[in-house]
Amino acid sequence: MRTLISGASGFLGSHLVRRFIAEGWEVIALVRPQSDCRRLLDIRSLVNIVPVTPNSLSEIAASWQPIQVVIHTATNYGRAKQPWSEILETNLVFSLRIAETAIQASCECFVNIGTSLPPEVSPYALSKHQFSEWLQVLANQGQMCSIDVALETIYGEDDDLDKFITHIIVACLNNIEHLPLTLGEQKRDFIYIEDVVEALVMLVKRGTDIKSSTGIAYQRYSVGSGTAITIREIAELIQRLTGSNTRLAFGALPYRPHEVMFSQADLTKIRALGWTPRYSLEDGLKRTIAWWQTHLENVRQCAG
């Protein structure tokens, strides 16, 4: 089996690359030319790494047929305050190009990593929902089987430093004097990376079966732990697990505009397929913290 994974150098993408290689699949890893591919360095001889160029997608469709599965993880969160047009270009226009490439390459199952955030929260969330609508249109026209994943907040080893949980862990391990935070009343559903990978592998393997059994070419699944916890509670849990002296300054920062105060996955639909998360929040955090503790030099270099 052959799969194309976009955003393959990223946190989720690189985990998926490793898992599908372990499954014995042939993997095409699509990355931006400027991407940091350090997460793929030790397996670069086992994967086909393809930089995105003006012609790369058409060349992939022509040279790698058939590509049975496409998993689209590439996204632009807008965290670097990119223009909205850049966010839209990545999350909608480029995503449509990936979908078109999948169709040209005779893709049997297209998996899109979407978001659980409502569209009004940010340009990122809006653009992700817009692509989901386009994906549904493509699927309903019989172009391909599509699985759209409404993903909650993932975390795990070697995640990006601007992610919330990584930021808290790094600060606590470095025992910075105080860490400014919001009041922390908002509740989030945090899911460990290994559980996300298992959910996606199951959806990929069941993708065409889902279509044949339901007659529906587009399916949307929520993926999370199914449990919401306040930001304050998870920050305090990380502080306890790291044994940190860092003072958590709750209320030092204001809430963001359009802050989502509650988000929790409804796992009814995906549990019916046989998947349920294996890792508790504390177990996932312990594994994540242990990884950072073995990379203390990286932690010190990244401390604020």
pLDDT at 212: 63
Average pLDDT of every residue of the chain? 93
Choose the CATH number for 1-151 among 3.40.50.720, 3.90.78.10, 3.40.50.2300, 3.90.180.10. 3.40.50.720
List, as one string, the DSSP characters of 227-245: --EEHHHHHHHHHHHHT--
Amino acid letter for position 179: L
From first CA to last CA, the distance across the chain in angstroms is 44
Assess contact for 229 and 281: CB atoms under 8 A: yes
pLDDT band per the 50, 70, 90 thresholds, residue 155: very high
Q: What integer pLDDT is reported at residue 304 of this predicted model?
A: 46
Contacts 24+ apart (CB under 8 A), 124-132: 124/75, 124/76, 124/77, 124/78, 124/87, 124/91, 127/76, 127/87, 127/88, 127/90, 127/91, 127/92, 128/75, 128/91, 130/88, 130/91, 130/92, 131/91, 131/92, 131/95, 131/96, 132/220
Query: Is residue 299 scored above 80 in pLDDT?
Result: no
Pairing verdict, β 26-31 and 187-188: unpaired
Q: What is the pLDDT of residues 182-229, one digit of tens each?
A: 999 999 999 999 999 999 999 998 876 776 666 678 999 999 999 999
The answer to whether 258 and 186 are in contact (CB under 8 A) is no
Q: Tell me which residue of 127, 131, 172, 161 sits closest to 148, measured CA to CA.
A: 131
Taking only the tens place, the pLDDT of each residue in 118-147 is 999 999 999 999 999 999 999 888 878 899
Per-residue pLDDT reduced to its tens digit, 61-107:
989 989 999 999 999 999 888 999 999 999 999 999 999 999 999 99
Q: At 16, is the pLDDT very low, low, confident or very high (cuts 50, 70, 90)?
A: very high
Query: Domain limits of the chain?
Result: 1-151
What one-character-per-residue DSSP string does 181-212 give? E-----EE-EEEHHHHHHHHHHHHHHHHHHHH
Token pair in block for residue 290: 């242990």
User: pTM of this prediction?
Assistant: 0.93
Binning the chain into helix, strand and coil, the percentages to the nearest 5 are 45, 20, 35
What pLDDT, on a 0 to 100 scale, did the predictor assign at position 214? 66
Q: How does residue 158 score in pLDDT terms, banded at 50, 70 and 90?
A: very high
Residue 298 has pLDDT above 80, yes or no: no
- Counting residues of the chain whose pLDDT is more than 90, the rounded percentage is 85
